[in-house]
Every structure is written in structure tokens, then in C-alpha cells.
């Protein structure tokens, strides 16, 4: 069902207090050089975007859009860090649960098919070309007493609609099939059911007026021009109307 529409928010910002060491799976390669940090709210975030404001814009925009339509993402915040007075960084809370969800998918892919289909459809909307198993994590749910997990999507920095400085041009080179999940995840969901019609409609029904209040938080935090907000909401609203067509074209 469509999520409740959000009112404009003042940007959420926390201060970086100190870097902390955490263990990460050695098989993963982090092109954005994220680091873990304890922040002023007493929480630990995975922080990225120190070298590129476009990463911050892409992640924050995708997270607010995900929250708007109902895709599960971690709690997040802009992060004010020493040495980065020109722009805040992006922080995503560490999720309490398994980093590798492949055992759960291998054990019962049918149980998770709907949520995976929802995430894939969202990725089509924002033109995220980098969905794979390493950027889906599990959240331990107290209500789940049977060992199952909630699947949470992370890492949206390659979402063309909200990262590119010229998204209208960049989207011209993105084919629907390039938005299918990569590698093992793509093979796992191949042949699984398509997203439910009400989920597709949930995304397809978003107008520029629906999207502007959520994305205004990103505009204010990153001091972006009003023209950015106008352009990005128009692009996303137009692309939303094409989501049903993309689902038809892409679903294997």
C-alpha cells in the first residue's frame, strides 16, 4: 500500500564524534571508501561521501524515496565531519542482523520473493545499476521467532536518476535489462514472481508534487539549487509512469 506522504523536514544531521573499527566481510570491495563512526546521537553509522558529494546526494535521495514508497532501508542521517565543511557526509546505521543473507534465500527463496521484487522495482525507478547480494542485509526481527529475517536494502550510490549531474542524458544509456540484479542475486530471482500490481502502482502513482517534500531535505542539506529539485522530481515522476512498462520488459 502507498506510504503516508511526508511533510517537508529540516535536514537530519549528526556530528561525527570518532571513527570506530568494525569487521567487514573480506570478499567485499568498497569503491566509496566508507568508514564507521560514532556520532553525536550515540549511534554508529557507516559513513561515505567524503571524496564526492554526488555519493551523498545519491544515497540520501534514494533513502528518502525508499522510505516514501515503503522499501526497507536503515536509519540514516547527514553527518557533519571535521575537514568536510563544504558538504555533509552520508551515514547509514549499521543493521543488527546477518551481513550475508544468501543462506536464508537458499533455504526459502519463496518467502522472500515479494520483498526482493519490490526492491528490484524500486531500483528500476531510480536506475540503480548495482543491485547484488552484497548490498542487501538482514535485520533480526524480534517478532520473528522462526529464524527468518527482514531484508534491508543499502548502497544506492549508483542510482543514475539521483546521482548524475545530467540525469536526462545519462538515463539515455541505461537499458531496462541493465537494471536486473547482478551475479548470484540475479540468478536467484530469475523466474520468480513479478511484483504485485499494487506495489507497481505505489511507485507509478508518484507525481512531482508527491516527491518534492521528501527530496527537499536533500536539497537543503546539500545547498542545491531550486532547479535541481524541480528537475529531479520531474524526471522521477516521468520515470515512475514507465515503471509498469519496465517491469514487463525486464522480468525474466
Which tops the pLDDT comparison, 169 or 132? Answer: 132
Mean pLDDT of the chain: 88
Question: What pLDDT digit, counting tens, does each position of 57-66 carry?
Answer: 999 999 999 9
pLDDT for 252 beyond 80: no
Share of the chain above pLDDT 70, in %: 89
Kindly report the number of other CB atoms within 10 A of residue 12's CB atom.
16
CA 188 to chain centroid = 20
pLDDT for 8 beyond 90: no
Strand extents, DSSP E, the chain: 13-20, 35-39, 44-48, 76-80, 89-93, 136-140, 149-153
Cβ(242)–Cβ(175) under 8 Å? no
Angstrom distance (rounded) from CA 176 to CA 121? 11
The tally of CA atoms less than 13 A away on the side-chain side of residue 143 is 1
First to last CA, the chain: 24
Which tops the pLDDT comparison, 11 or 166? Answer: 166
The predicted structure's pLDDT at residue 132: 94
CA 221 to chain centroid = 18
H helix and E strand count, the chain: 9, 7
Question: What pLDDT digit, counting tens, does each position of 86-108 carry?
Answer: 889 999 999 988 889 999 999 99
Residues 6+ apart with CB under 8 A from 41: 14, 77
**CATH code matching the domain that covers 13-93, chosen among 2.40.160, 1.10.1740, 1.10.150, 3.30.200:** 3.30.200
Confidence of residue 247 (pLDDT cuts 50, 70, 90): very high
Using the structure block, give the residue that is written with the C-alpha cell 541493465: 178
The predicted structure's pLDDT at residue 210: 94
Q: Which residues pair with 10 in a beta bridge?
A: none
Q: What value does the mean pLDDT take over residues 187-216?
A: 93
pLDDT for 237 beyond 80: yes
Angstrom distance (rounded) from CA 10 to CA 13? 9
Phi, psi of 174 (to 5 degrees): -95, 115
Domain ranges of the chain: 13-93, 102-250
The predicted structure's pLDDT at residue 89: 96
The predicted structure's pLDDT at residue 3: 46
Confidence of residue 70 (pLDDT cuts 50, 70, 90): very high
Question: What pLDDT digit, counting tens, does each position of 142-176 carry?
Answer: 555 567 899 999 999 999 999 988 888 888 888 87
Q: Name the strand (E) or helix (H) holding 24.
A: none
Which tops the pLDDT comparison, 193 or 124? Answer: 124
Question: What pLDDT digit, counting tens, does each position of 154-163 carry?
Answer: 999 999 999 9
Q: What value does the mean pLDDT take over residues 34-55?
A: 93
Q: What value does the mean pLDDT take over residues 171-194?
A: 89
The predicted structure's pLDDT at residue 28: 46
Angstrom distance (rounded) from CA 88 to CA 65? 19
Confidence of residue 5 (pLDDT cuts 50, 70, 90): very low
pTM score, whole prediction:
0.90
Angstrom distance (rounded) from CA 93 to CA 90? 10
Q: Which of 70, 63, 66, 64 is nearest to 1 (CA)?
A: 70
Which tops the pLDDT comparison, 10 or 171? Answer: 171
Angstrom distance (rounded) from CA 47 to CA 68? 22
Decide the pairing of beta strands 76-80 and 44-48.
Answer: unpaired
Amino acid at each position: 500500500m502507498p506510504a503516508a506522504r511526508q511533510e517537508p523536514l529540516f535536514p537530519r544531521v549528526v556530528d561525527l564524534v570518532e571513527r570506530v573499527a568494525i569487521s567487514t566481510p573480506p570478499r567485499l570491495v568498497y569503491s566509496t571508501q566508507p568508514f564507521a563512526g560514532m556520532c553525536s546521537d550515540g549511534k554508529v553509522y557507516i559513513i561515505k561521501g567524503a571524496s564526492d558529494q554526488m555519493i551523498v546526494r545519491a544515497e540520501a535521495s534514494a533513502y528518502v524515496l525508499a522510505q516514501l514508497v515503503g522499501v526497507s532501508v536503515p536509519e540514516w542521517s547527514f553527518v557533519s565531519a571535521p575537514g568536510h565543511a563544504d558538504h555533509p557526509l552520508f551515514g547509514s546505521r549499521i543493521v543488527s542482523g546477518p551481513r550475508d543473507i544468501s543462506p536464508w534465500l537458499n533455504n526459502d527463496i519463496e518467502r522472500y520473493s515479494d520483498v526482493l521484487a519490490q526492491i528490484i522495482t524500486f531500483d528500476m525507478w531510480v536506475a540503480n545499476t548495482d543491485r547484488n547480494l552484497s548490498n542487501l542485509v538482514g535485520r533480526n526481527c524480534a517478532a520473528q521467532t522462526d529464524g527468518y529475517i527482514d531484508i534491508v536494502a543499502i548502497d544506492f550510490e549508483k542510482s543514475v536518476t539521483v546521482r548524475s549531474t545530467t540525469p536526462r542524458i545519462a538515463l539515455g544509456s541505461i537499458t531496462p535489462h541493465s537494471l536486473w540484479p547482478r551475479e548470484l542475486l540475479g540468478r536467484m530471482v530469475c523466474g520468480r514472481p513479478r511484483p504485485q500490481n499494487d506495489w507497481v502502482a505505489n511507485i507509478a502513482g508518484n507525481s512531482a508534487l508527491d516527491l518534492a517534500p521528501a527530496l527537499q531535505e536533500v536539497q537543503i542539506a546539500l545547498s542545491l539549487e531550486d532547479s535541481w529539485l524541480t528537475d529531479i522530481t520531474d524526471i522521477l515522476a516521468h520515470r515512475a509512469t514507465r515503471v509498469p512498462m519496465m517491469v514487463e520488459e525486464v522480468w525474466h
